[in-house]
Every structure is written in structure tokens, then in C-alpha cells.
Amino acid sequence: MKEMIKQLTELHVGKVKENEPLANHTTIKIGGPADLLIEPSSVENLETVMKLIKEYNVKWTAIGRGSNLLVSDKGIEGVVIKLGAGIDLLEVNGTEVTVGGGYSLITLATIISRKGLTGLEFAGGIPGSVGGAVYMNAGAHGSDISQILTKAYVLLEDGTMQWLTKDEMEFSYRTSVLQKKRPGIVVEAVFQLYEGDKDSIVGKMQQNKDYRKETQPWNFPCAGSIFRNPLPNYAGKLIEVAGLKGHSIGGAKISEMHGNFIVNAGNAKAQDVLDLIQFVKDTIYELYEIKMETEVEIIGRK
């Protein structure tokens, strides 16, 4: 690893940090250290990083803005690649939008709405990066990324870059092919939007933002929705009816605003969150015989 770090530094690929606490890079403010955290300053430097990772046969993990993510207290082995500044281009060509994987989804939705383009209003209150949103097919208010994505430029596990069409992304509820079958990083995404009435688009997006502020606990560190909705039921409602709102383990607490959110109420550990997740799973199954599945991505050393 030392020789690899030396090469990365000499090549000026971006920020390179050893033993970096990932609590500094997740919205729930939880997570042990990454052996090595790299923030590439360009797509070209990202490619260089991946070539070295392959050359040295090092494990790697990609993150964006750290929402919808729970990192183990023991951290992550190998290299963590963080996509942000440098992987954040934005090009608007008529109704077609090309955007970098490190771009803020909320910022993108705001800019696009002001241009009178419709299709991204659902994303107005979703934190995180465009790459992460495509990776997990983020959605809200009856729509999701699969409704607007044309294709994605993906850096695959073997270090090669490839365009994947919407069909090749194999989208389903909060899932894409990149989560299991073809591990990779979304470097760019191309969205097909439509012209609409600017005032109504901006109004709708603001309405979605306001709804999130009123119903979700973003004033506390959290990771977003913890569970997938076991349709036709809704995770938050099941948890609320079961009387679990406010239940806590260690520093982790089920939000009193929304049952499907676990907040870091004070120095929570990942294990506190995991124990609380298991408690909810056991309780809901015991009461309703419904198996709850996590939406939050859980990564890192066991």
C-alpha cells in the first residue's frame, strides 16, 4: 500500500488520506476509518486510481456524499473512492442533461427546475450525489431515476469504462445492476427531461422539499430511509403503529418524526444502529409476519 500511496501522491490524482474516519463523510456521522480515502480531482485521475488499484490488487469501495450509507465501526478495508469535486460536470443540451456522478442531486434538481425542465421534481429533497442516486435508483413522490435516465457512464470493477443503457442498468425498486451483478461507479449520467411550465415545476419541487422538512428529521444526523417499503405496506407506518417511534439503543434512536428514520442522537456507533435495525425487523415480523429489508447500504469490516 505504501508504494501505491507514493505513486498516487506523485501523480497528483486528488486528495489522498490514510486512516480517514468515514464518520466525516457520511450524513449519519458514523463510520470507522478507511485504510485509504481518495477523492479524484477529475475523471482521468479516477481512471488512474483504478489502474493502480488493479495493479496492486487492492480492494475498493465507492461512496458519494455519504447519504443512505452505514459504515462499520471497524471501517473499510482497502481504498475508498469518494466522488465529488472534479466528477461534477453539468451540461444541458435542450431537454437532455449530462451530469457527473459527484454532482449534488438536490442542486441539480434546483437548477433544472429553474430552466423550466420537468422530470426531476421528485429529487428536490433527496440528499446525496447523482452517482449514488443512479446506483440505487433513488426515488420519491411516485417517481425515480429509472423514469428519466437514458444511459450511465460506469467505471467497472476491472477498471474499464462503459456506457450502460437504461435497460442494461436493470432498474427495480431502489436497485440497479451495479449493486450486485456488475459492481461499478457511476461517473456520468444522461437524463431525458421535458419542457414544462417553469413556475409550476419550481412550485412542485419546493412543495416536495417542504414536505421532507416537515416529515423527516434532517435536523439530526441520519442516513435517510432505513427500510424498503414492503409494498403495499409502508415501513414508516408499520414502525409507527408498532409503537417503536422514539425507541433507542445506545446513541441510535428511531425518529419521533418518521418511523423509517434512525437518527444519531449522540455519539451513536454503527453497532447501535445495526442492533436497532434488528430490533425493528424482529418486532415487525412478530406482529405482522412481514420481513423488513434494509434500504440503507451497510458496508465495511464485520
Cα gap 175→166, rounded to integer Å: 13
Residue 212 annotated as catalytic: no
E strands, 112-250, are 117-118, 139-140, 143-144, 149-156, 161-165, 184-192, 194-195, 222-225, 248-249
Helix (H, G, I), strand (E, B) or coil at 13: coil
Name the active-site residue from 174, 176, 188, 255.
Answer: 174
Name the active-site residue from 20, 39, 188, 295.
Answer: 295
Name the active-site residue from 72, 113, 146, 225.
Answer: 225
List Cα–Cα distances, 242 to 130, 233, 250, 296, in angstroms: 34, 13, 20, 21
Nearest partner of 205 among 104, 122, 143, judged by Cα: 122
Residue 225 annotated as catalytic: yes
Contacts of 117 (CB under 8 A, 6+ apart): 92, 95, 97, 193, 194, 195, 196, 201
Nearest partner of 156 among 148, 164, 145, 166, judged by Cα: 164
**Structural element, H or E, at residue 169:** none
* β partners of residue 82: 63
Supply angle C-alpha 265, 268, 270, rounded to 5: 135
Cα gap 5→240, rounded to integer Å: 48
Residue 248 annotated as catalytic: no
Give the residue ranges of DSSP H helices in the chain: 2-10, 43-56, 105-114, 130-136, 198-215, 235-241, 270-288
Active-site residues: which are they?
174, 225, 295
